[in-house]
Amino acid sequence: MEPAYYPQAQNDLISKKDKKRATVQNKLNKIDEGFKYEKDYHYRTMLQDLQRSLSTIHQGTNEVLVERVKDFEERRDYDLVELRLWEEYQVKRTEREFTEEVEKANNEHDEMVKLVKEKLYANLEKQIKLLKEDKILLDLANSHSYNMDTTLTNQNDYHKNTRSSNSLKDSSISSIGYLSDRRGLRRREPNYNSTNNDDSHLSANDSGNNSSSKKRRKPNGTGNSSAEETYQSDAGDLSSILFGEKPEKVHTRHSSKAFVPPIGLKTEEINDDLALMKK
């Protein structure tokens, strides 16, 4: 059954609410009246508590404050240690990076120096190779020209020696004839100094003149006909031994024939020789 349909039940509910409201209001009134009578006591108590807290704070004996200060100090120390460690880490990291960069720069410098040295050595070796090739070419050219000069000198010396030997042989033959014509005088002057005779022939060979020098023979003071005859018989043999047999070659002193130099090396032959030496 619904209570709203009965007026008696509705009145009971309204009366309960009023009673409850009245009870709460009465309590509030009592509290308000009690506060009004005891407010001085409450304010005085709060003031005393505040003064006590301030005095303990100034004295440093406030437990709450001391705990909080300790907490702050611990936090501060932690932050300082963290900051110091971070600073050390940054310093070490910077030093390590600096060391790595220095090593890298040194390695690059060493590589650059090595590369430059290799290039310089290569250039020097190339220049040395070129200089050696030039020296070989110059040596070949000098040897070729020296051979030509030597050939010319030898041919000139040969013609000169031929003319000198011919003149010496002619002079020796004439000397032998002169000795045979003056045989009677040799009996008075029997001995000759063979050293002077040889010197006369040698001086005639060095000078290259057509006439031989005739030195005056010195007498020994004793006449010996057998020694004189032996000297006369050996004169022809001595002349042939000293100056050799007269060649049958035609004398070309006044010949108009031109000198023909030897044929030099060709460019292809020089290049082939250089290639062979390089191998």
Can you tell me the distance from the alpha carbon of 179 to that of 267, in angstroms, rounded to the nearest whole number? 63
Q: Is the pLDDT of residue 112 over 70?
A: yes
Give CA separation, 24 vs 20, 28, 151, in Å: 6, 6, 157
What's the rounded mean pLDDT across residues 169-192? Answer: 48
Average pLDDT over residues 13-19: 76
Average pLDDT value for residue range 25-32: 86
Most confident of 55-69, 173-187, 212-226, 247-261: 55-69
Is a pLDDT exceeding 90 seen at residue 153? no
pTM for the full predicted model: 0.32
Summarised one tens digit per residue, pLDDT across range 117-130 is 999 999 999 999 99
The tokens of 208 are what? 């290259």
Are 278 and 136 a contacting pair, CB within 8 Å? no
**Stretch 24-37: mean pLDDT, rounded?**
83
Q: What is the reported pLDDT for 85? A: 96
| pLDDT classification of 15: cutoffs 50, 70, 90 | confident
Arithmetic mean of pLDDT over the chain: 71
Confidence of residue 84 (pLDDT cuts 50, 70, 90): very high
Number of Cα atoms under 13 Å in the Cβ half of residue 231: 19
